[in-house]
Chains A and B, each alone.
Chain A
Amino acid sequence: MAGGGTPQHRFARLRPALGETIIGAGVLVLAIVMVWQTLSIPVSPIYAQVGPTIVPIITACALGMLGVLLLVDALQGGWQSEDEKEITPDRVALLWIVAGLVLNVLLITSAGFTIASVILFVCVARGFGSKAIIRDALIGAVFALVAYIGFAKTLGINIGSGLVENAIERVIGSEGG
């Protein structure tokens, strides 16, 4: 190993931070995808000078440059403050919340908004450390119904329907009619 002092010194300064490197690379990849997508936009000669691709190209180039700058920063140790680095995110909590979100997307069209929301509510509460599943489910149900009535009735949004929603509609409908 005839490295000498200088390369070793340089190596010591090069201590890539994993998270930041991935983010910098991600920004760079996004910029490349943007260029590729922009080049596939057909430009009519009428708009040749100020067509639909100029701003996308400028945006892509800017993001590309920023991606490189972020990567340089990341390879030199990243930009997170020391106390931020010491904190390891609570993976279990994140998993519970993400599970709630995924289940919600999967169930909202088939089981209806209320049921999907109750499951989301229970999972998120669990992620935040609550273990009272039945209590959370009840609160979640009240929440979902209040939100449903608030949004659907006040704002006039159609949230789609499932078993529970149809039952509410019948109750409200019979009261109103």
Chain B
Amino acid sequence: MDAFSQLLNGFAVALTPINLLWCLVGTTLGTAIGVLPGLGPALTIALLLPITFKVEPTAAFILFAGIYYGAMYGGSTTSILLNTPGESATIVTALEGNKMARNGRAGAALATAAIGSFVAGTIGTLGITFLAPVVVDWALKFGPADYFSLMVLAFVTVSAVLGSSAVRGLAALFFGIWLGLIGVDLQTGQARFTFGLPELLDGINVIVVAVGLFAVGETLYVGSRYRLGKDEIIPLSGSLWMTAAEWKRSWKPWLRGTAIGFPIGAMPAGGAEIPTFLSYYIEKKLTSKPQEFGKGAIEGVAGPEAANNASAAGVLVPMLTLGLPTSATAAIMLSAFQSYGINPGPLLLQSQPQLVWGLIASLFIGNVMLLVLNLPLIAVWVKLLQIPAPILYAGILVFATIGTYGITQSPVDLILLYLVGGIGYLMRRYDFPAAPVIIGMILGPLAEQNFRQAMTISAGDWTVFFTRPLSATILALAALALFGPKLYQLAMRPKPDHVPGDA
């Protein structure tokens, strides 16, 4: 009941006209960048980080959360109509959604995606409301050693478990941790990895890295293969109203997708890919029309879209209660908290109830806004897809440049931006994930801080991480996550000649 009354207070905060306006701006902008290929929520929030110097925290986070949720809605539109998933989490949506669009049922696909996102987003936000206080009670018992171990677990899952290769994921992660180490060590005042450049003493700005990887790197990558293929936009067709049969086939996948997505998102592992794939396979197993899968089955859109949005809501639980970001977007939001001097963690709910509950309430409101923005107004967003690529990507780079150059007006930052962009291009081309770089960069310094605190408390005794039961359990989980799949593979090794079929 306590969470409920807190939530009502949150609505009082979120329903003020100015905060409603921030929410509307956020959800609109979020949908737009979700629809546009080449732009994502992490990049957009990074470019908007300077707003933290201008507006109060509640307004900024309502804006960011609107962008975060909105991008999930917008991303599905692109997957369905264009078959180029904007984000990895919407790959699965493209599988069936694009087929539905080709069969002239684009309207129904968009509708089940939007309504499923709404159902999942609302239930997921309810989940945050009731789960967050529980996690906080539990997290208050954490010491620095436990926090460090928890961060190790998050590092392992976001880099080694979620991607296509543990080695490449971890390489990206440690590269990010290194970027985070650059600058003056706050505890001792020693400069680290500054190579004698005074510009690096304050560290590398996360805006430079995020924009470099996601805007410059992505533009170089798309540009390097743009001539090779043309995207085909499938015109909007079919009624936006789902038929009774389509409703009947959609509501169970929505709920199942939510039930899969939220818990996985809320675990310190995060990631929206696993729940969407999981939801897809479950729907494929449970459907009464298996012959439609691969040819445009509505369940294959409804379930994964719900899973995607529910896990996006779930990610906010470790983010708000433990200060543990498990996606690139959440990591950038964490740096927004840092910019305000606020430390997300178990004390956040007590020290900033206005902010946290106002934010959660705005998520409910944002979901309603997004449903309206994405169904009746869908035609507007489809127009955005028609922006020619040369204009779109040139515009992205101009925005990226101004957003970065504006921080310090130093050409050094621009040079860094373009260098990171070059690295981002190579990472994209050689299949290194980008999110671990951002997470390592933001979470690395916090992990180091907890590590050194724990070591100081234990007077330099390394075993402290293994003798505290909680810390030891978490580290064991991390080791299992890192080596488990490999061991399982070795144990179940298939015959060498076996080629997986396309079943």
Q: Is B202 among interface residues, defined by CB-CB distance under 8 A?
A: no
Contact status of A20 and B430, CB under 8 A, knowing A89-B224, A97-B220, A159-B406: yes
The 4 closest A-B pairs by CB, nearest first: A49-B460, A157-B406, A130-B390, A128-B390
Contact status of A158 and B168, CB under 8 A, knowing A105-B418, A129-B227: no
Q: Of A51, A79, A98, A140, which contacts B394 at CB under 8 A?
A: A140
Q: Contact: B192 with A129, CB < 8 Å?
A: no
Chain B count of residues within 8 A CB distance of the other chain: 67
Q: Contact: A159 with B402, CB < 8 Å?
A: yes
Contact status of A148 and B390, CB under 8 A, knowing A90-B226, A155-B50: no
Q: Is B429 among interface residues, defined by CB-CB distance under 8 A?
A: yes
Interface 0/1 of B435-453, CB less than 8 Å to A: 0000000001001100110
Question: B448 to nearest A CB, angstroms?
Answer: 4
Contacts of B216 in A (CB 8 A): 101
Q: Complex: how many Å from CA A23 to CA B459?
A: 40
Q: Is B391 among interface residues, defined by CB-CB distance under 8 A?
A: yes
Q: Of B226, B391, B414, B430, which contacts A108 at CB under 8 A?
A: B414
Q: Complex: how many Å from CA A155 to CA B426?
A: 32
Contacts of A143 in B (CB 8 A): 394-395, 398-399
Q: Contact: A120 with B398, CB < 8 Å?
A: yes
Q: Contact: B228 with A87, CB < 8 Å?
A: yes
Contacts of A147 in B (CB 8 A): 398-399, 402
Contacts of B493 in A (CB 8 A): none
- Taking A67-B171, A128-B393 as given, write out 8 further A-B residue pairs in contact, using a Cβ cutoff of 8 Å, ordered by the A residue number: A34-B193, A59-B174, A120-B397, A124-B394, A128-B226, A143-B399, A151-B50, A155-B54
Q: Is B85 among interface residues, defined by CB-CB distance under 8 A?
A: no
Q: Contact: A155 with B223, CB < 8 Å?
A: no
Question: B461 to nearest A CB, angstroms?
Answer: 9
Interface residues of A in 128-168 (CB under 8 A from B): 128-130, 136, 139-140, 143-144, 147-148, 151-152, 154-160
Q: Contact: A120 with B226, CB < 8 Å?
A: no
Q: Contact: B171 with A27, CB < 8 Å?
A: yes
Interface 0/1 of B377-414, CB less than 8 Å to A: 00000000000111101110111011101110101001
Contact status of A66 and B397, CB under 8 A, knowing A52-B188, A129-B227, A155-B54: no
Q: Contact: B223 with A52, CB < 8 Å?
A: no
Contacts of B448 in A (CB 8 A): 55
Residue of A nearest to B195 (CB): A37
Secondary structure at the A interface, as helix, strand, loop or mixed, is helix
Q: Complex: how many Å from CA A139 to CA B286?
A: 51
Q: Contact: B409 with A23, CB < 8 Å?
A: no
Question: A87 to nearest B CB, angstroms?
Answer: 6
Question: B409 to nearest A CB, angstroms?
Answer: 5
Q: Contact: A100 with B397, CB < 8 Å?
A: yes
Interface 0/1 of B164-191, CB less than 8 Å to A: 0101101100110110010001011011
Contacts of B399 in A (CB 8 A): 143, 147
Q: Contact: A160 with B409, CB < 8 Å?
A: yes
Interface 0/1 of B185-217, CB less than 8 Å to A: 101101111010000000000000000000010
Contacts of A89 in B (CB 8 A): 224-225, 429
Contact status of A59 and B178, CB under 8 A, knowing A37-B193, A151-B402: yes
Q: Is B372 among interface residues, defined by CB-CB distance under 8 A?
A: no
Most buried by A among B216, B226, B395, B451: B395
Q: Complex: how many Å from CA A158 to CA B54?
A: 13
Q: Is A32 among interface residues, defined by CB-CB distance under 8 A?
A: no
Q: Contact: B167 with A41, CB < 8 Å?
A: no
Q: Contact: A128 with B389, CB < 8 Å?
A: yes
Q: Complex: how many Å from CA A94 to CA B221?
A: 8
Q: Is A44 among interface residues, defined by CB-CB distance under 8 A?
A: yes
Q: Contact: B460 with A130, CB < 8 Å?
A: no
Contacts of A139 in B (CB 8 A): 391
Q: Of B391, B421, B430, which contacts A23 at CB under 8 A?
A: B430
Question: A159 to nearest B CB, angstroms?
Answer: 5
Residue of A nearest to B407 (CB): A157
Q: Is A50 among interface residues, defined by CB-CB distance under 8 A?
A: yes
Q: Of B51, B389, B394, B403, which contacts A136 at CB under 8 A?
A: B394
Contacts of A19 in B (CB 8 A): 429-430
Contacts of B456 in A (CB 8 A): 49-50
Sampled A-B contacts (26; CB under 8 Å): A23-B426, A23-B430, A47-B188, A50-B451, A50-B460, A52-B190, A54-B451, A54-B455, A55-B451, A69-B167, A70-B168, A73-B167, A84-B429, A87-B225, A89-B429, A90-B225, A90-B228, A93-B224, A108-B405, A108-B414, A116-B401, A124-B390, A125-B391, A127-B223, A147-B402, A157-B407
Q: Complex: how many Å from CA A50 to CA B407?
A: 33
Q: Complex: how many Å from CA A60 to CA B469?
A: 29
Contacts of A98 in B (CB 8 A): 220
Q: Complex: how many Å from CA A63 to CA B219?
A: 27
Question: A148 to nearest B CB, angstroms?
Answer: 7
Q: Of B165, B170, B171, B401, which contacts A120 at CB under 8 A?
A: B401
Contacts of B429 in A (CB 8 A): 19, 84, 89
Q: Is A16 among interface residues, defined by CB-CB distance under 8 A?
A: no
Interface residues of A in 76-132 (CB under 8 A from B): 79-81, 84, 87, 89-90, 93-94, 96-98, 100-102, 104-105, 108-109, 113, 116-117, 120-130
Q: Complex: how many Å from CA A91 to CA B388?
A: 21
Q: Contact: A125 with B224, CB < 8 Å?
A: no
Question: A60 to nearest B CB, angstroms?
Answer: 8
Interface 0/1 of B460-471, CB less than 8 Å to A: 100000000000
